[in-house]
Amino acid sequence: MTEPIRTPDPLTPKPRQQSEAAVLADARRRSRRSFIGLGLASLAGLGGWRWLLSRPDDAGIPHPLRQVLDANGRLSRAYFKETRLAPEFARSRARTPRENGDVGLDSELDADAWRLRVQAYGTGKLQEFTLADIKALPKVEMTTELKCIEGWSVVVHWAGARLSDFLARYPLATRNGRPADPLHPPADLAPYVGMLTPDEQYYVGLDMASALHPQTLLCYEMNGQPLTPGHGAPLRLVTPLKYGIKHLKRIGTIAFADTRPKDYWAELGYDWDAGH
Ligand SMILES: Nc1nc2c(c(=O)[nH]1)N[C@H]1C(S)=C(S)[C@@H](COP(=O)(O)O)O[C@H]1N2
Ligand SMILES: [Mo]
């Protein structure tokens, strides 16, 4: 939404500046059509995009896919990374959700002292980032539904940086320090990501496919305003294909793992994936 994206299809006249939502919706439409056209509908889901990602660069990519690939790096990334996107809504439908869940938010937030700590997959070394580092990445905005397992859902307008952009810019998710390019995922990419609050009282695990999904954000704004402490200031996770339990507020540490990282609600009996 913050960057102009050109439509890859010259036959469809569209304004040059499309919203991110429109581009992603278009990608979704195209992907569905291509999948059906190619008889690949059965590959929907993670297996599907892994298969696509494992294809050689050029040979083997059917024409409609290649066309999109050539047209725009970001679009093709959105296109390839997942066969499914969470629905997006008109921004006018956005509301402020209740502050739900405050595990790990007990201490008062010292915004100036806050750092995002990331433990590199290969070396295990900790690297620290400021909020300014996160804001220096491309700003992505989206209006999606926050769904809680308690049975309520609210449409929210979020803004932040894609976790995939962060891990492409800072190559911490691979053993040998290569960027986590979702189009060409390195073989030494960590299979799992774990996140914890600074006090480690709340924690979630994500598979790498979900972590690199184009709608998975390191989020710093809700409905056009900086996050409040109750909603996860200064930085929270937003990943709208998952229930709210995975949207960890006040991220302190990110680490990578070979096996499923510990997960607060999975320990209490909920599904570890928590997709919907
Ligand atoms: N640190 C932390 N993050 C958390 C929780 C929590 O208890 N602690 N609860 C989760 C749950 S169950 C939901 S539904 C969402 C709610 O986000 P909100 O308070 O911004 O509406 O936050 C999630 N993130
Ligand atoms: Mo929730």
| 81-104 average pLDDT score | 92
Residue 118's domain is classified under what CATH number? 3.90.420.10
Q: Where are the beta strands (DSSP E) in the chain?
A: 116-119, 126-129, 140-147, 153-162, 192-196, 203-207, 217-222, 225-226, 236-238, 253-257
Distance from the CA of 239 to the center of ligand 2, in angstroms?
Answer: 13
The reply to whether 85 and 220 lie within a common domain is yes
- Range from 15-29, 174-188, 261-275 that averages highest in pLDDT: 261-275
Q: Pick the residue with more confidence: 179 or 152?
A: 152
Give the nearest ligand 1 atom to 100 CA: 19
The reply to whether 31 and 138 lie within a common domain is no
The reply to whether 68 and 82 lie within a common domain is yes
The reply to whether 42 and 152 lie within a common domain is no
- Give the per-residue pLDDT at 184: 79
The reply to whether 178 and 118 lie within a common domain is yes
Q: Is residue 143 part of a domain?
A: yes
Q: Is residue 75 part of a domain?
A: yes
Question: Which residue's C-alpha comes closest to atom 6 of ligand 1?
Answer: 101
Residues whose CB is under 5 A from ligand 2 (ion)? 148, 244
Q: Is residue 269 part of a domain?
A: no
**Strands 253-257 and 140-147, bridge-based pairing:** unpaired
Distance from the CA of 213 to the center of ligand 2, in angstroms?
Answer: 21
pLDDT of 246 above 60: yes
The reply to whether 44 and 70 lie within a common domain is no
The 10s digit of each residue's pLDDT in 76-89 is: 344 344 569 999 99
- Give the per-residue pLDDT at 24: 52
Q: Is residue 125 part of a domain?
A: yes
Number of domain units in the chain:
2
Q: What token pair was written down for 25?
A: 């919706």
The reply to whether 41 and 158 lie within a common domain is no
The reply to whether 108 and 144 lie within a common domain is yes
pLDDT of 232 above 90: yes
* Number of helices (H), then strands (E), in the chain: 8, 10
The reply to whether 82 and 210 lie within a common domain is yes
Distance from the CA of 160 to the center of ligand 1, in angstroms?
Answer: 17
Neighbours of 103 (CB within 10 A): 14
The values of phi and psi at residue 238, to 5°, are: -130, 125
Q: Is residue 265 part of a domain?
A: no
232: left (phi over 0), alpha (psi -120 to 50) or beta: left
Give the nearest ligand 1 atom to 146 CA: 14
The reply to whether 31 and 65 lie within a common domain is no
Q: Is residue 267 part of a domain?
A: no
The reply to whether 211 and 98 lie within a common domain is yes
Q: What token pair was written down for 107?
A: 């201490």
Give the nearest ligand 1 atom to 202 CA: 1
Give the domain extent around 49: 27-56
pLDDT of 262 above 90: yes
Q: What token pair was written down for 61?
A: 């990519």
pLDDT of 17 above 90: no
The 10s digit of each residue's pLDDT in 45-83 is: 444 444 334 333 344 444 444 444 334 344 434 434 456
